[in-house]
Structure formats: structure tokens, C-alpha cells
Structure 1
């Protein structure tokens, strides 16, 4: 028997913060489903997450809420914030690298390729290596900008494809074994990712979607359900099942305050 979804699910709800703090370090709460079940993502089994909403659908808030949980559990994050202001809550946190302009994002992703290889070379000896969340907001637009940026200084003998985009694809392919995980805000269709890379998102969170978007991103879950305009109302697609879900919402201030005591150390 199903029940109505809560109208809102906030970090300040009684007992919720304690529940989040008790989660394993591979797991973050996405929200609560119609039957009252907690809908979560476990990075050990579903290493990458795609979030796609129409304007005003809360994608940036979802990114913030999920990222903050993993940071609290000891992960580090590379937050790529092309608008420069969408993730100011993360600036100044000791375990976060925050990059905004296209040159900074390009360099950060190229450096990420080196970090991926370093971790792979450890051959599974990653017990003391923190998870790394790669948070890419406005992702499709950003990847197109990275492609144009690469063309401005690419030399004749350089590869045609942006090394920043290639680095992101490599993380999607092999990040799980290196404990590097992508949280991608976009459709992953028109940004330049290879089809095989797009298939690596085992958790897809959709809100205010069209039937066409559903068929592109969640065809395995069947026909598109009715989209809701309510704040925080999403469908979470995992293992070919779509879960109508009220997403947990965390404000900038709540995320920053909660993470103020995160263990020091930079990526």
C-alpha cells in the first residue's frame, strides 16, 4: 500500500540529521518514496549519478545535498561551478576544490586524469584514500565550452577531442575502482560525451521532465510517468525501476554549517 509523499523533506526535520550521520560512507540519502522507503545511492554499486531537471527543478539543490553528505562522511570534492555562484557553499571548505571559469575547469579535469591514474596504480590499496566526488553543474553547456576552449589553442599534432572531456569519460569508465565518482547535472546527450560514457550513470534523478527526456535517459524504466511541478518531487531510476520520491533539500547555509568541521586536507 502506498502513502502520500511528504510535502517537503528538509535537513532540519526531527531526527533526519542523525539518520544521515549514521549512513555508511558509500551511501547518501536522495529522499523518501511513496511507500515511505528511503531512496539512497550507494557508490560502491552505482558509482555515478545523473541529475536532470527543467529550469527551477532543483538540480543544483540536489547536487548540493548529495555532495554535502559524502563530504561529511570524509570524501573530497572537485566542484565545477561554471556560473561561479551556484556552489559558493563549498568555497573555503578544506576538502573541496572549487573551479568556475572554463580555463580552470579544463585544467582541473586534465589534472583529474593524473589523479585517476595515480589511484589505479595503487592496485586496490585505497583504504587511506578518500572518495573523490566530481560535481559538474550545467554539465552539457560546460562540456561544449571545453570543446571550444580546446580548439583555441590545440596544435596540429594534438588530439582533436578535448583532453578535459576525455578525462571525464575515463572517470566514468574506471572511476569506481579508483573511488572517483561523477555527479552530473545535465542530459549528457548534447555535451559531447561518448555514448558508452553516458551509459555509466546507474542512478538517474529526473524532475519536471518531458516524455522525450525520459525516453532518452530512462527508457529501461518504461513509459514516462507524469512529472510533478512540486518542489523536490523527483523520480529516481535505479535497476530499471522508477521511484517517485520527495528529495531531501539542504540549503547553502545548512550544508556549509554542517561541513564546517570536516577534516582538513586539500585535494
Structure 2
């Protein structure tokens, strides 16, 4: 298929792009535009209940998490945002439908609460579940976060407690049962079988990779074929869906874009 020259940046500030984003159906978010000219989106209710984002340095993983989370929030979802760096998602602080946690104790407790919420949702009747807001769990720097959670649990675990961190167990449960509970994980990292109990391509219907090594590509997306040449453009990467890789320019949304859009959408539209 003929490739299309893409702009070096797809800014949410562009009126036509914002209109396209706002026209997406509930549960669907625009990732970006591919080099064959098509809109590349994730549909959480189809075959993509969770999204994995993995990039090298400067690859834009935080921007992608911000863009996707913001789009689902705009559609009425709630979000649990785990920000172990404490500064990557300052836009989320103070928003009424977002729980933002940064320190390891807060992340641990939030994930334990997530496990309880998951169980509650799974017990709901279908009509009650449909009326329950979708819950987006955004995990920035997941590898480091899971490492800190493991060490935290080792420090406080009692002799009769399970060896596995209940926070990590709750995250794994959300990945396996999330579709049935309207809980969806957007995870930034390189999960391994030892941590989450399955190969990444079994847990995530959509993968967004940028500036990754050949080893990482083959670990995360073996069905998508050989590792493509890296592209140093900001926001340029590959989206893997159904075993196919699409070179894509991702949407750029600033913290200010998101806060204004979510708190005063009429102002954002001007």
C-alpha cells in the first residue's frame, strides 16, 4: 500500500484532528494516523481490552498514555493513574474522576482497592455493569512500579501472607478479567511471564512500540514480523493489532490541552 507523508507532529490543537477525536464512539480512542493514511484507533469493546505501550528514551510513552486516558475520560470513564515518577502526569491531579497515585504505598493500596472493585463489578448484573463507568488503569513506568511494589511487600509481608504482592496480583487479575468488568489497563513497560503470568501478546490486543531494540520487538510482538528500522521523529512508532504493524504518528496532547478539554470543553473547542 502506498505510504503517505505524515506531519512531524499531530497536535490536538488542530481543529480538524480534535473534531475527529471527539467523533470517536464511546470506548474507542484515536492513537494516531498511519503512513497509509488511515486512522489507527483502539476499541476496548472489540478485541482490544488492554493496551501496551513500550518505547525507548524519548519515544513518547507518557504522551500516549496521557492522550488515550484523556480521550476515555472525555467519554465518561473514570481512571486510576499510577505515576511512580510522581511528575509524569501532573495533569491528573484534582480531576474529579481520576485517582492519581505516585508513592509506592499509595500505589499498593490503590491496586488492592482495584482488586476489590474488580470483584464487585464481576458480581454485578449485566444491566448494572453497563451503567457503571468504564475504569481505565494507566500504569506509567510499569517495570519500575512492579519492582517497587515487590520490595514494598517484602518489607511488610507477614509470615502468613502470600509471597506475591497483592497489588501485583490485583493488576494481573485486572488484565485477565478486565473485559468482563469494564476495567481496562493501559500499561507502559515490558511485561514478562514471571511478572504477569502470560506472554504480552496474549494480554494486550494493541501494542504501541517506538525506538525499541530488536530483542524487545521480538519479545513483545513476534507475530508482527522483523523489527522495523527505528524512526527518531517525536511521536513516530508502530501500532501492532491483529499481528500487523502500522507505522503511525501519534497524537500530541499537552498537559494544558488535557486539563482544558476535560474541565472546559467549550473553551477547548474555540
- Quote the residue 1:265 is aligned against: none
Q: CA deviation at 1:156?
A: 1.1
Gaps of 5+ in 1: 263-267
Assess, with a 3 A threshold, how the Cα gap between structure 1 residues 55 and 11 changes in structure 2: closer, same or farther. same
- Quote the residue 1:50 is aligned against: 52
Q: Write the distance in 2 (CA, Å) between the matches of 1:33 and 1:56.
A: 20
Q: Write the distance in 2 (CA, Å) between the matches of 1:133 and 1:115.
A: 12
Q: CA deviation at 1:89?
A: 0.4
Matches within 5 A, 1:1-267: 1-45=2-46, 46-125=48-127, 126-189=129-192, 192-195=195-198, 199-261=202-264
Contact 1:144–1:192 (Cα < 8 Å) also in 2: no
- 1:175-221 per-residue CA deviation (whole Å, 9 max, x = no partner) reads 01100000000011288222257721110000111111100000010
Normalization by structure 2: what TM-score? 0.94
- Quote the residue 2:268 is aligned against: none
Q: Write the distance in 2 (CA, Å) between the matches of 1:28 and 1:11.
A: 13
Gaps of 5+ in 2: 266-270
Structure 2 SS opposite 1:57: coil
- 1:141-189 per-residue CA deviation (whole Å, 9 max, x = no partner) reads 1001101100111111111100000000000000011000000000112
Q: Write the distance in 2 (CA, Å) between the matches of 1:187 and 1:40.
A: 21
- 1:29-60 per-residue CA deviation (whole Å, 9 max, x = no partner) reads 00000111000000012010000001111110
Q: Write the distance in 2 (CA, Å) between the matches of 1:75 and 1:223.
A: 36
Q: Write the distance in 2 (CA, Å) between the matches of 1:221 and 1:87.
A: 31
Q: Aligned pairs, how many?
A: 262
Greater helix percent: which structure?
A: 2
